Amino acid sequence: MSRAMMWFRKDLRTLDNPAFWHAAQHDELCAVYVRSEMQWDRHDVSHAQRTFIQNNVKALHERLSGLQIPLLIVEATTFSHVPALLLKLAADLEVDGLFFNEEYELNEARLSDSVEAQFCGAGLAISRFHDQCLLTPGIVHTKAGTFPKSFTAFDRNGKALLRTRMRQLYPLPVAPSVNAIALKRVDYAVNIDSFEQFSDTHDYDTIRWPAGEDAAHVSLDEFITERVTDYPENRDFPGLDATSQVSAYLAVGVLSARQCWQAGEVLTGGENEGLLAWRRQLVWRDYFRHLLVERPDLCRHQPYKQEFTGLPWEDSPHLFDAWAQGKTGYPLVDAAMRQLNTEAWMHNRVRMVVAMFLCKHLRIDWRKGECYFSRHLIDIDLASNNGGWQWSASTGVDAAPYFRIFNPIRQSTRFDREGEFIRKYVPELADLDRDSIHQPNAEQALARGYPLPIVDHREAREKTLAMFEAFKHSL
C-alpha cells in the first residue's frame, strides 16, 4: 500500500496537472495547499489575486472531495517555514512521498530545493514536474546553444520543438478506491469554510472570473468559438471585448498553457489565423518564464541589460501619484489606470501605453510601476510583468529601443478611435466628441474637473532621449 501527498501551488487544477496525475497513481492520496500571508506581502501580491486564489482553492477542495481526496490547508509564516511544515504533515499522515510542480521565480525555486533536501534527509521520496510552460525552460536554444535574445528566434525555434515535444494533456486521474488517509485529521489544518477570514478580501468581478476549472474552461471555449477568429484585427483595441481574459486563470494555474494551446486545436482544427496569433501570445508567456530561469537576477529587480543598471530615474512622488490615480491629463493613460484600479485588470495595449508613459514621460523607475501593477492586477505574474515593464523601459531582452516613445494621444486616436474606452473609465469626459476626447483643451478640461496634462509630450520626450543619450555616453 503506497501513500502520496500532492502539494498544490500555482497549479490549482485537477486536469492536465502532471504532479497530481502521477501522485494519483498511488493507492492512497492526500493534497495540501500552503498559504503564507506574509510571503504574499513580501512579494507584493495583489489582494485581488489572493482572493482569487482562495476562491479557487475552495473550488479545488470541492472537486477533490468528489474524488475522495482530502485537501488540507495549512498556514506558514513565510516560505522558510514551509519545508518543515510539509515534512511534519507527511509524518503525521504517514505518506511515503511528496509530488509537486516546479515554479520558476527565484524564491519559489529555492523553496522547491529546500523541500526536496528536507524530504530526502528524512528518507522520503520527492517527485518534481515541469508544468507551467508549453516547453520546459532551458530547451529552446539558438544554433550556438545559447538562449535566444530575440523573441522571433525563440518563437521560431520554440514552435519547431512544440511540433514534436508538445505532450498530451493529462486526464483526470481515477479516484483511489479506498482512501483511508481521508479519515486522518491534523489539528493545525485550516477549515476551508473560514478560509477567507485570513485576508482582506478583494471585491474583484466574480462574474468575469468565476472560480474553478469548469468555469475557466467555459471562458476559454467561449473565446475560442466566438472571438479568436477576429483576434488579430481586434486585439489591440481596449474598448472591445476581443481578448481571452484568461490571464488570471493562467497566473494561478486553474488553466494550463497546454490546455489553452490545445483548446484551439480541437475547436478550430488548428489552422485558423486568429488562433495562430493568439498562440503567439502564449509563446510570449513562455519566453518570459524561460528568461527567468536563464536570468534569475531579474527576480531581484535587476535590468536584463546590465549596462542600464545606473540609469538616473527621477523621484517624483506627486507625478507617480497622478499616474497611479489616473489623473495625468492624458485621457487614454487615465482610463487605463482607472480600469486597473477598479477592475484589477488592464488591457495589454494600454499596459504598454501606461508603462511607457511612466518610464519615458515621467522618467520614473520602471520598478515602481512594476510593483504598482503587482499590487493591483488579478493576473499578476512576475515573469510577464517584469518582461512587460522592461520591454517598455527599454532595459529588457528584445525591448523597445530607448528612442521608441509612444505618443499617448496618437495611441488614443489609433486604438480608441471613437473614445469608447475613455468614456467608460473617465466619465467626466464622456460628453466630448471623438475629436476632443483624446486631448481636451484647457477650457474643456477645467469645466469638467479633469486635470491638465502633467507633462508636455514633446518636452518630456526630448528630456528622456537626452537622459538615455547622456547615460550611454557616460558608460
Ligand X SMILES: Cc1cc2nc3c(=O)[nH]c(=O)nc-3n(C[C@H](O)[C@H](O)[C@H](O)COP(=O)(O)OP(=O)(O)OC[C@H]3O[C@@H](n4cnc5c(N)ncnc54)[C@H](O)[C@@H]3O)c2cc1C
**Residues at the contact surface with ligand X, assessed by CB under 6 A:** 235, 243-247, 250-251, 281-282, 284-285, 288, 348, 351-352, 355, 373, 377, 379-381, 384-385, 387-389, 392
Nearer to ligand X, 388 or 419 (CB): 388
Nearer to ligand X, 198 or 284 (CB): 284
Rounded to a whole number of angstroms, the minimum distance from the CB of residue 213 to ligand X is 16
Rounded to a whole number of angstroms, the minimum distance from the CB of residue 336 to ligand X is 11
Give phi and psi for 458, each to the nearest 5.
-65, -45
Sheet holding 125-129: strands in order across? 71-75, 28-35, 3-8, 97-101, 125-129
Rounded to a whole number of angstroms, the minimum distance from the CB of residue 256 to ligand X is 11
Nearer to ligand X, 102 or 236 (CB): 236
Rounded to a whole number of angstroms, the minimum distance from the CB of residue 46 to ligand X is 9
Nearer to ligand X, 101 or 247 (CB): 247
Residue 362 burial (CB < 10 Å; 0-12/13-18/19+)?
buried
SS3 90: helix
Grid coordinates representing 322 are 497622478
User: HSE-up of 11 (CA within 13 Å, CB side)?
Assistant: 29
Rounded to a whole number of angstroms, the minimum distance from the CB of residue 421 to ligand X is 14
Nearer to ligand X, 221 or 456 (CB): 221
Nearer to ligand X, 79 or 372 (CB): 372
Nearer to ligand X, 34 or 352 (CB): 352
- CA angle 387/389/391 to nearest 5° reads 65
Q: Distance between CA atoms of 263 and 152, rounded to whole angstroms?
A: 24
Query: What single string gives the DSSP state of each residue in 401-459?
Result: PTT----HHHHHHHHSTT-HHHHHH-GGGTTS-TTTTTS--HHHHHHTTPPPPSS-HHH
Grid coordinates representing 308 are 542600464
Q: Which residue is closest to ligand X by CB?
A: 388
Rounded to a whole number of angstroms, the minimum distance from the CB of residue 357 to ligand X is 11
Spatial CA neighbour of 173 closest among 1, 33, 27: 27
Rounded to a whole number of angstroms, the minimum distance from the CB of residue 255 to ligand X is 9
